[in-house]
Amino acid sequence: MVLNTDINYLQGVGPKRAATLLAELGIRTVEDLVTYYPYKYVDRSRFYTIREANENLPYIQLKARIVRFEKRGEGRSQRLVATIADGTGTMELVWFKGLKFVTERYRINQPYIIFGKPQRYGRLLNIAHPEIDILIDGAEQKIQGLQAHYNTTEKMKSSFLNSAALHKMIYTALSDPTLQIPETLPDDMVRQFALMPRHDAIHNIHFPKNVQLLEQAQRRLKFEELFFIQLSIIRQTKLREQKYRGYIFGTIGDMFNRFYHECLPFALTGAQKRVLKEIRADLASGKQMNRLLQGDVGSGKTMVALMTALIAVDNGFQACIMAPTEILATQHYQSISEQVAHIGLNVRLLTGSTKRSERETIATELQNGSLQLLIGTHALIEDNVVFKNLGLVVIDEQHRFGVAQRAKLWAKNIQPPHILVMTATPIPRTLAMTIYGDLEVSVIDELPPGRKPIATYHYFDNKREALNQFLKKQIDAGRQVYIVYPLIQESEKLDLKDLENGYQQVREAFPDYKISMVHGKMKAADKEREMTAFAEGKTQIMVATTVIEVGVNVPNASVMVIENAERFGLSQLHQLRGRVGRGADQSYCILMSRYELSNDTRKRLQIMVDSTDGFVIAEADLNLRGPGDIDGTQQSGLPFDLKIANLAHDGKILQTARTVARDLLEKDPELTNEENKCLTLQLAKLTKSIINWGVIS
Ligand code: ADP
Ligand code: MG
């Protein structure tokens, strides 16, 4: 049997299961099947007692009886809790879904084998959504060693394709004595880095004989996965560099110089100066610039964007700045057109609500070249927006844009313009290296002078009264306040209700103040009106969902209250917090949460209290949640699925894989050497599925 064999032909699979596997997991061939790796291993050689259990243990198994079932909470937070006992103590099992199914299926007092990850909620330990098996006397003796567990979908489970069934299929495939699993890496590389051969690694990843062999198998497969991604990304980047020349912006001319000497409203920070130097070097190099500018909220990225645009204009080119929301684009437009009024730069704004006549002016001026800087939303990437000679594209808060949208901007010229991508969601290095490949990164790691770090506190509802008093004091001192409620896509209706309830409560608590409200379901014009009222200080309190997360600038606002903070990701909390602290006054961020919190959530909120450094927070987020959940990647998606490597934990392997890939391409750019031929096949498979953000962003 070869790896390419259709799983249809595998014993015990059959057409129906094959169809389900294809539809649910994309598994078509034996190779797909045996490279579908387990997501965890349960040490089934040992049972724990409830007394021994603690939240620091990984998955454990217990022998216990259910003492009682109980429903707790209401609405969204309704859950089923089972108390279990084994003679050494009690703990709880918790279900948030399938409550009816659970109560019907499991019996009080029946002994069960219970698997799961213990967590601590308040004083009690619990396991959420445990796996439960009936305990049959003597059965536990049969199960031994490390047992692999596989992710399955609801559909699969309902047709009995559970983890155990998958395990069995994989066993069937791997025990075929004719099955060949060829090596994908050059022999020298395998030897030099002491990698387990692929054949052995695949066997051990599914059926580890012991922990050491499992670890070797994991290391080998992670290395392979990361190596091919790096090889692909670095190779594409090199090809792009050969193919495209960059416009050379060699002059620093009138616009830039006059702006710098006559209009700059403040002295640039050292970090802004350094980044501008890096950008200038790129622009003059003859290579097309492709640079990511990371800088915390409020670090002054817009000024860098503007001055870069002035360089483009000085060299006879047009520039554009694209922002993710209308509000943000409008704010950029207002502040920038004010700042450049004196030097006579022609700037215009293009958004979804730009009037027809203005659109026509923009179209004409873009094509005759008299429009020098166009600011806007994704309206900029529509096909009918045609530039005469676009030389620079700045993309603000890049993670809000999908990959395809950015690719469209890229295509607005025969020769691609220079690209500057700006983000306030710092991306941990491992992630940046993997997503962006060889994209150059600049960092603004310094805030403008005079900013006081935002003081952050985490409170429960019992502090509500004190909080309201505090807010009143701030408002009476002339400040303004944000109060933000979560908005999660799946339950928009419920969230909106939360927001409206919140709004009512705020009105009752603050009868003497004016309150604005903004949420995503409002018409753009209404949103605009509310935002403007707040920005102009006509209202004192802004009740909102996360639509205000990005970019809005109201320096007079000094308090950010985040309700249900436990429901936000770290980067999102950080972004929201960045809405305050923009003026010279002391600002505050108050995280309100319910009392019962999981360990991870507690840690997350604590990190916010402890740190205001976006990079520290991004690293912590990656560690706690894994790369798929990091804000900024989930929206536009990681450009590929990692089957086994984990960017939060495998930074070292990634670094090695990257270095090896780079060296190899230095020596053999076309991969034509005999020993590297085996790489091209694997690379071809992969390249189809990888989108290189470094190339298209
Ligand atoms: P972000 O990096 O979050 O986009 P902005 O560009 O919006 O930050 O800048 C935040 C605020 O700081 C703006 O009001 C801007 O005018 C101001 N600012 C930027 N650079 C400086 C500086 N060097 N000194 C003082 N204030 C600055
Ligand atoms: Mg900004």
Q: What is the pLDDT of residues 63-116, one digit of tens each?
A: 999 999 999 988 777 899 999 999 999 999 999 888 888 888 899 999 898 988
List for the chain the helix, strand, coil content (%; round to 5).
45, 20, 35
Ligand 1 atom closest to residue 268's alpha carbon, by position in its atom list: 23
- Residue 587 is predicted with a pLDDT of 95
Span 12-21, average pLDDT: 90
Span 577-606, average pLDDT: 89
Q: What is the pLDDT of residues 19-60, one digit of tens each?
A: 999 999 999 999 999 999 998 887 777 889 999 998 888 778
Q: Which amino acid residue places its CA nearest to atom 15 of ligand 1?
A: 300
Q: Is 266 in the pocket of ligand 1 (CB under 6 A)?
A: yes
pLDDT above 90: residue 270:
yes
Q: Is 556 in the pocket of ligand 1 (CB under 6 A)?
A: no
Q: Is 300 in the pocket of ligand 1 (CB under 6 A)?
A: yes
d(CA 126, CA 113): 15
Highest mean pLDDT, choosing among 414-428, 494-508, 579-593: 579-593
Which ligand sits nearest to residue 575's alpha carbon? 1
d(CA 591, CA 589): 7
Q: Is 89 in the pocket of ligand 1 (CB under 6 A)?
A: no
d(CA 623, CA 647): 9
Q: To which H or E segment does residue 140 belong?
A: helix 139-142
Q: Report the separation in Å between the CA atom of 620 and the middle of ligand 2, taken as the mean of its atom positions.
A: 23
Highest mean pLDDT, choosing among 68-72, 599-603, 614-618, 648-652: 68-72
The model's pTM: 0.67
Angle subtended by helix axes 429-436 and 211-243, to nearest 10: 50
Q: What is the pLDDT of residues 209-236, one digit of tens each?
A: 888 899 999 999 999 999 998 898 888 8
Which ligand sits nearest to residue 550's alpha carbon? 2
| Closest by CA position to 204, among listed 223, 188, 219 | 219
pLDDT above 50: residue 624:
yes
pLDDT above 60: residue 144:
no
Q: Is 268 in the pocket of ligand 1 (CB under 6 A)?
A: yes
Q: To which H or E segment does residue 148 belong?
A: strand 146-149
Q: Is 269 in the pocket of ligand 1 (CB under 6 A)?
A: yes
d(CA 423, CA 296): 8
Q: How many helices (H) and strands (E) does the chain have?
A: 25, 22
d(CA 621, CA 629): 9
- Residue 691 is predicted with a pLDDT of 47
User: How does residue 411 score in pLDDT terms, banded at 50, 70 and 90?
Assistant: low
- Tokens for 419, please give them: 């690209």
Q: Is 118 in the pocket of ligand 1 (CB under 6 A)?
A: no
Q: Which amino acid residue places its CA nearest to atom 1 of ligand 1?
A: 298
- Tokens for 195, please give them: 């990698």
Q: Which amino acid residue places its CA nearest to atom 19 of ligand 1?
A: 300
Ligand 1 atom closest to residue 272's alpha carbon, by position in its atom list: 23
Residues with CB in 5 Å of ion ligand 2: 551
Which ligand sits nearest to residue 556's alpha carbon? 1
Span 619-632, average pLDDT: 61
Q: Is 294 in the pocket of ligand 1 (CB under 6 A)?
A: no
Span 119-138, average pLDDT: 80
Q: What is the pLDDT of residues 556-566, one digit of tens each?
A: 999 999 999 99
User: How does residue 660 score in pLDDT terms, banded at 50, 70 and 90?
Assistant: very high
Length of the chain: 697
Say which residue, 404 or 441, is predicted with more confidence: 441
Span 529-558, average pLDDT: 84
Say which residue, 569 or 548, is predicted with more confidence: 569
% pLDDT > 70, the chain: 88
Span 12-18, average pLDDT: 89
- Residue 599 is predicted with a pLDDT of 82
- Residue 629 is predicted with a pLDDT of 44
- Residue 31 is predicted with a pLDDT of 94
Mean pLDDT of the chain: 86
Instruction: Please state which of the ranges 129-133, 199-203, 316-320 shows the lowest mean pLDDT.
Output: 129-133
- As a three-state string, the secondary structure of 563-604 is CCHHHCCHHHHHHHHCCCCCCCCCCEEEEECCCCCCHHHHHH
Which ligand sits nearest to residue 306's alpha carbon? 1
d(CA 150, CA 206): 10
Q: Which amino acid residue places its CA nearest to atom 4 of ligand 1?
A: 301
